[in-house]
Amino acid sequence: MTSKVKVNSNLCSFVTLIEATEKGDLTYDIKVDSSCEKIQKFAKGLENLDLTDITDWPNSKVQKRMMETKLGVACLIPSGIMNAARLEAGLVSKSLALEVKNISIEFQPD
């Protein structure tokens, strides 16, 4: 089965589609489709994640790639990858996620 996440990055006007597929050995194939060149560069090397990568943020390949490619803290793509992989791993309820549909960050006025 495959878990899919769509990330609407309204600050930079990019939409990114992320797919996570369990490969049968507790590793997850990650596909990232984005027209953002920085995200394309970031996603290289994240095609194959394991449980450590999706449960242990300080030791995660996702976090390390974020630092290497200097993604800004407002970029939602690393979170999208983690959420897609966690859905696929069963660490987040897929039925609840599909019912809720989205999570968000809202900037508030003073």
Asked whether residue 101 carries a pLDDT value surpassing 90, the answer given is yes
**pLDDT of residue 24 exceeding 90:** no
Contact 7, 35 (CB under 8 A): no
Sorted by sequence, the CB contacts under 8 Å of residue 3 that are 6+ apart come out as 19, 20, 21, 84, 85, 87, 88, 94
Which domains are seen in the chain, by residue range? 2-93 (3.90.1010)
Confidence (pTM): 0.93
> 81 with 66: CB under 8 angstroms?
no
